Amino acid sequence: MFGEKVHSQRLAAWIFGFAAFIFVSAVFMFGPDELPTYKHRALSLLCALSAGLFGYFFIGSVKSVRQGNLPKWVKTSVQAAGGAALLAFVFLWWSSDWAPVSRIGSKLDKLDRGIIKKTREDISPFGDRRAQAVEMLREELTIKNEQILSLQGEIARLRKITPSEGALKAARQIPDNAGPYALALRAVAEGRSDDARLLLDRAEQEKDAELARIYEARGKTELYAGKCGDAAGWYRKVLEIESGYRKLKNEAAAAYYCASQYEETEPLLRQALESDEESLGPDHPSVAVDLSNLAQLLQATNRLSDAEPLMRRALEIDEASSGPGHPQVATDLTSLAMLLQATNRFSEAEPLLRRALEINEVSFGTDHPRIATDLNNLAGLFRATGRLPEAEPLLRRGVQVCEKSLGPNHPDVARNLNNLATLLHAMNQVSEAESSMRRVLEIHEASFGPDDPAVATDLNNLALLLRSVERLSEAEPLLRRALQISEKAFGTNQPETARILINLAALIQAANRPYEAEPLIRRALEIDEASFGRNHPNFAADLNALAFLFHATNRFSEAEPLLRQALEIDEASFGSNHPKVAIRLSNLAQLLQSADRLSEAEPLLRRALEIDKASYGTFNPEVGVRFGNLGKLLCAQGKWGEGRELLEQALAIFQNRLGPDHPYAVDTRRRLEEIESRLQN
């Protein structure tokens, strides 16, 4: 009986020991590099339990324990203590830096702890290591390769890059009696741009650091302050002095991209890609970041077909290196989805955005700020495809997530609230939209100051809403203030300034002052031509704005060639079946209709209708607009039956998707009533 018990103890020890060995070996060979926190804890607990049970039964099989003249409860306690010790050891091992699988975010935590430790050592009174501490802070303030991705899109470019938490921690280790250069870097990390500029003036006068380092610090100051044009100028000076430092090139590329200086950005990004492919290999995660950054630039310069294979390759690299459920894969999926939307491939984009949302919910939980971003992206797709009622709950949840995790006055709350406000405006819920936009403006003014580019964006959006409800006298001073902020932040010749000029011109034109509007539009044309060239969609949009002004002032012969040029640009940029082409066709048709060239206008409107039906489906509000425009034209030609049928289809769409009180629905009902009255008479 005793022998059987010993045999059972040994057998159990072998079983649990072998299980623990196989488990750990499998994790080492086949496990991912990182896991979400809850999965990491579950895995570590399972491994620790296997090891603890092995220890319990192994000690029970030891001769000195099993044959010792000890009470049974003492033997059991010894076994339990041994098993518990081994369990605790394995669990602590999994929580350490030597664990076979890391917890997502632990590497960043380790880096920050290392920065603090090293910085404390560097400013130790036992040696003059302050220079090393300053260098550590300088390194932390360097714009990382990954941060260039945060500059995607026009709206994102207006938001300041935020210093990392590691930079803030390192800045706290710089003493008050440090030199002006070190104190300037500390001021940059703490968001005190004005102080940083003054300290860098002193540093240059006193020659407290090399000139290249001072210029670089000036560039960091302006980039973190959101003054991209000024930052680009300083980085240009740095690269004239020294051009071999790879991280410096990345930071300069971020500044150039932020300032829309794309011709200078591209060679730096290509150099970074070539360097990483050569030194790290073609499948390294850093190469994926380089590919994504270059793809974003190509997308911004309307080279969409060139951007897509780079994004797909970046996604493949990150899925292979980090696993299909890693947050970086979610970022890649989102970037690719945005590109697909830009090329009118909404059905391909939607599953990518849904997968990105699922990955981040598993990785970070349902109340993390990243979830709000994913919800906003998916809502944007719904809005683009006319599914406004589906977009609204997503945007409201995004606002709630940010308010819960960041507080009610955080800039990210403002971003989500602004997206909700623009959707409510589109759904004719003007009162709530206006109050939300005013709250967004208040948050940004309190967070960044009254002259920040984000404030200019808010003023622009609020002005557009006020213009839509004929409150022109309230809207104009908002746009003029937005223009002043943009010119101060970006300069007088940047695309951000051009967009506000176009909106201000449209407002002035609506106020029946067309000859004040024309020079504003021509100035925007010059800016966009210099920034993008004559074949870019932004330039086409400016041509359309000038043509609209000529149309409104009966200068039809001047308007028509501009509209045809804009149509050619967008057909070349997006393809002949893109919704933007449908807009250009519709605008040209309206001009021809005003010139009483109805037979020439009809095929253009029919083509625009077919494009939008193929792009959005039959029940999209944009399709309703096309039905309405074609219906009105046919009625003007005396084709009352078909015209009335198209207007009835338009009304059904507007009432179903936008509500019966939306201006589109009200106007269409009125036209149908006029047609009925005319037919009866």
Position 671 in a domain: no
Q: What is the pLDDT of residue 547?
A: 93
Eight-class DSSP state of 174: S
Residues 16, 54 contacting (CB under 8 angstroms): yes
Confidence bin at 608 (pLDDT 50/70/90): very high
Q: Is the pLDDT of residue 27 over 80?
A: no
157 and 44 assigned to the same domain: no
Selected residue with higher pLDDT from 85 and 332 = 332
Q: How many residues does the chain have?
A: 681
Identify the residue with better confidence: 320 or 68: 320
Say what percent of the chain tops pLDDT 90: 37
Residue 426 backbone dihedrals phi, psi, to 5 degrees: -65, -25
Predicted pLDDT at 675: 85
Instruction: State mean pLDDT over 166-190.
Output: 83
Pick 243 or 565 by higher pLDDT: 565
Question: Domain holding 138: CATH number?
Answer: 1.25.40
Residue 110 falls inside a structural domain: no
- What is the band of 269 on the pLDDT scale with cuts at 50, 70, 90? confident
Listed residues 103, 118, 145: the one ending a domain:
103
pLDDT, position 313 = 95
Task: Give the residue-averaged pLDDT of 433-457.
Answer: 92
Is there a single domain that holds both residue 50 and residue 133?
no
In this structure, are 14 and 95 located in the same domain?
Answer: yes
CB 317 within 8 A of CB 284: yes
Split at pLDDT 50, 70, 90, the class of 162 is low
- How confident is the model at residue 115, as a pLDDT? 31
> Mean pLDDT across the stretch 627-640?
90
Task: Quick: pLDDT tens for 120-152.
Answer: 333 233 334 445 545 555 555 555 444 333 333
Q: Kindly give, in sequence order, each residue whose CB lies less than 8 Å from that of residue 326, ignoring residues fewer than 6 positions away.
A: 32, 34, 104, 318, 319, 359, 363
Point out the domain boundary residue: 228, 244, 260.
260
Pick from 217, 238, 260: which residue ends a domain?
260
Which of 267, 336, 339, 337 shows the shortest CA–CA distance to 300?
Answer: 339
Residue 258 has pLDDT above 50, yes or no: yes
Helix ranges (H only) for 31-153 are 37-61, 63-66, 72-95, 106-122, 130-141
Contacts of 237-241 spanning 24+ positions with Cβ under 8 A? 238/212, 241/211, 241/212, 241/215
Give φ, ψ of 34 to 5 degrees: -140, 150
CA atoms within 13 A on the CB side of 150: 15
CA 343 and chain centroid, separation: 18
Phi/psi for 289 (5° steps) reads -65, -45
Distance CA 496, CA 483 (A): 9
Is residue 660 scored above 60 in pLDDT?
Answer: yes
More confidently predicted of 493 and 146: 493
Is the domain of 147 the same as that of 226? yes
Least confident range from 37-46, 417-426, 462-471, 659-668: namely 37-46
218 and 138 fall within a common domain: yes
**What's residue 664's pLDDT?**
87
Provide the number of structural domains found in the chain.
2
Residue 161: other Cβ atoms inside 10 A: 21
User: Do the beta carbons of residue 171 and residue 220 sit within 8 Å?
Assistant: no
Mean pLDDT of the chain: 82
Q: Quick one: tokens of 600?
A: 């020439």
With a CB cutoff of 8 Å and minimum separation 6, the contacts of 174 are 123, 133, 134, 137, 182, 183, 185, 186
| pLDDT band, very low/low/confident/very high, at 483 (cuts 50, 70, 90) | very high
Domain contains 537: no
Query: How does DSSP assign 549-613, residue by residue?
Result: HHHHTT-HHHHHHHHHHHHHHHHHHH-TTSHHHHHHHHHHHHHHHHTT-HHHHHHHHHHHHHHHH
Alpha helices by DSSP H, 385-494: 388-406, 411-426, 430-448, 453-468, 472-490
Specify the pLDDT at position 505: 94
* Co-location of 79 and 143 in the same domain: no
102 has pLDDT over 50: yes
Burial annotation 284-303 (CB, 10 A radius, 16+ → b, else e): ebbbbbbbbbbbbbbbbbbe
Give the dihedral of Cα atoms 548, 551, 556, 557; nearest 10 deg: -30
Is 437 in a helix, a strand, or coil?
helix
Q: Phi first, then psi: what are they for 62, rounded to 5°?
A: -70, 135
Question: Under DSSP, is residue 638 helix (H, G, I), strand (E, B) or coil?
Answer: coil
Specify the pLDDT at position 245: 61
142 and 235 together in one domain: yes
Q: What is the dihedral of CA 306, 307, 312, 314, to 10 degrees?
A: 120
Give the range with max mean pLDDT: 159-163, 224-228, 514-518: 514-518
- The stretch 624-652 carries a mean pLDDT of 90
Partnered with residue 35 across adjacent β-strands are 103
Instruction: Give the pLDDT score at 521.
Output: 95
Sorting pLDDT into bands at 50, 70 and 90, what band is 432? very high
* Cβ–Cβ < 8 Å for 633, 605: yes
pTM, two decimal places: 0.67
DSSP string, 122-139: HT-TTS--HHHHHHHHHH
Shared domain for 23 and 145, answered yes or no, is: no
At residue 565 the predicted structure's pLDDT band, cuts being 50, 70 and 90, is very high
Reported as a pLDDT band with limits 50, 70 and 90, residue 440 is very high
Is 573 a residue whose pLDDT tops 50?
yes
Residue 263 pLDDT more than 50?
A: yes
* Domain assignment present for 395: no
Of the listed ranges 19-28, 385-394, 452-461, the one predicted with least confidence: 19-28
Closest to 311 (Cα-Cα) out of 324, 329, 327:
329
User: What is the pLDDT, as a whole number, of residue 604?
Assistant: 94
Contacts of 369 (CB under 8 A, 6+ apart): 401, 402, 405, 406, 412
Residue 85 shares a structural domain with residue 151:
no
Mean pLDDT for 591-617 is 91
Segment 157-181 mean pLDDT: 72
Query: 358 to each of 333, 340, 365, how far by Cα in Å?
Result: 11, 19, 10
Residues 327-352, mean pLDDT to the nearest whole number: 91
For residue range 191-247, list pLDDT tens digits in order.
Answer: 888 899 999 999 889 888 888 888 888 988 888 887 778 888 888 888 888 765 666
pLDDT tier at 617 (50, 70, 90 boundaries)? Answer: confident
> The tokens 């944009």 sit on which residue?
622
- pLDDT score of 446 more than 50: yes
Cβ neighbors of 556 (< 8 A, separation 6 or more) are 550, 591, 594, 595
Q: What pLDDT, on a 0 to 100 scale, did the predictor assign at position 548? A: 92
Same domain, 252 and 169: yes
* Average pLDDT of the segment spanning 154-168: 55
The Cα 513–Cα 490 span in angstroms is 28
What is the domain range of residue 34? 2-103
**pLDDT band at 307, cuts 50/70/90?**
very high
The verdict on residue 370 lying in a domain is no
Checking if the pLDDT of 593 tops 80, the result is yes
Mark whether 150 and 91 lie in a shared domain.
Answer: no
* Model confidence at 544: pLDDT above 90: yes
The full 3-state SS of 182-237, as one line of letters, equals HHHHHHHHCCCHHHHHHHHHHHHHHCCCCHHHHHHHHHHHHHHCCCHHHHHHHHHH
- Check residue 33 and give its pLDDT: 60
Residues sharing a CB contact under 8 Å with residue 528, sequence separation 6 or more, in sequence order: 495, 498, 536, 538, 539, 542
Residue with token string 């406000």:
421
Distances (CA, A) of 322 to 39, 144, 325: 15, 19, 8
- Would residue 53 count as lying in a domain? yes
The predicted pLDDT at position 76 comes to 75
For 511, the token pair is: 């106020």
Q: Give kind and range of the element (H or E) at residue 34.
A: strand 34-35
The amino acid present at 417, given as its one-letter code, is L
Does residue 65 lie within any of the structural domains? yes
pLDDT (0 to 100) of residue 92: 79
Kindly state whether residue 641 falls inside one of the protein's structural domains: no
Same domain, 73 and 198: no
